[in-house]
Amino acid sequence: MNKKPVYKRILLKLSGEALQGRQNHGIDADVCASLARQVKEVLDLGVKIALVVGGGNIFRGQLESKRFGLDRAVGDYMGMLATVLNGLALQNALEKLDVPTRVITAIEMRAVAESYIRRRAMRHLEKDRVIIFVAGTGNPFFTTDTAAALRAKEIDADVILKATKVDGIYSADPVKNRNAKKFSQLKFIDVLKKNLKVMDATAISLCMDNDLPIVVFNLLKEGNIKRVVLGEKIGTVVR
């Protein structure tokens, strides 16, 4: 394994479900604390770090819109607000470790977070601050996966690290199918053709068009973020 990072600037994509840990709902404080420790480890290596966080542990716009009979746009905006709650929880966990952190939102709410301005975000990275992007793209009908791909390109990230509850991409759900095959590497076009649920098609297409690799790995095993950054062969690489 390399002793020096193979990536200098990363975007870490966290699903809301990853933050709930083994709970059925909400935010698991132990997961937040573990994530903060791992982010600090990578930051101490000199790597610039930005995060995009989802909100599915609190409210999933598309799913809940159908369940409660909400207009889809309304449901998506509610989902965006859920990501802000997660972002603030992560900021709190990081600041307990004295990691300078900024929450940047695509929907203006000056009392709790900075509004997104690319130049300001780049400046925060230059000053070794961790950025947490929340509220997706600020638009309904776009997922936080797409927000991750968009923000990654805007901040000139070398890679998207997609943190999940499983250790890579499989041919089927490994929890439901014991015969599911794990892929060590995949091409973007194969992800689209096989309809593998890595990130949504818009996000995959954006990464493919801009030659931005994705590494899918298990967040629940502490130390994995550092292992990926140092080039250890874990998870699945999509390029």
DSSP code string of the chain: --SS-S-SEEEEEE-HHHHTTTSSSS--HHHHHHHHHHHHHHHTTT-EEEEEE--TTT--HHHHHHHHT--HHHHHHHHHHHHHHHHHHHHHHHHTTT--EEEEESS--TTTSEEP-HHHHHHHHHTTPEEEEESTTSSTT--HHHHHHHHHHHTT-SEEEEEESSSSEESS-TTT-TTPPEESEE-HHHHHHTT-SSS-HHHHHHHHHTT--EEEEETTSTTHHHHHHTT---SEEE-
Q: pLDDT tens-digit profile of 20-46? A: 888 888 999 999 999 999 999 999 999
Establish how many alpha carbons lie within 13 A of residue 99's alpha carbon, considering only the half-sphere containing its beta carbon.
Answer: 29
> Quick one: pLDDT band at residue 2, thresholds 50, 70, 90?
low
* Structural contact between residues 101 and 94, judged by C-beta atoms closer than 8 angstroms: yes
CA pair distance 87, 227, nearest whole angstrom: 24
What average pLDDT score do residues 208-234 get?
Answer: 94
Q: What are phi and psi of 51, to 5 degrees?
A: -125, 145
What average pLDDT score do residues 48-74 get?
Answer: 89
Q: Does the structure show a pLDDT above 60 at 1?
A: no
Q: Does the structure show a pLDDT above 70 at 102?
A: yes
Q: pLDDT tens-digit profile of 103-129? A: 999 999 999 999 999 999 999 999 999
- The domains located in the chain, with CATH, are 9-238 (3.40.1160.10)
> Quick one: pLDDT band at residue 154, thresholds 50, 70, 90?
very high
Q: Does the structure show a pLDDT above 80 at 236?
A: yes
Q: Which two tokens stand for residue 216?
A: 């899918």
* pTM for the model: 0.94
Strands across the sheet with 9-14, in order?
A: 114-115, 101-105, 130-134, 48-53, 9-14, 159-164, 214-218, 236-238, 185-186
Q: pLDDT tens-digit profile of 76-87? A: 999 999 999 999
- Output the pLDDT for position 67: 82
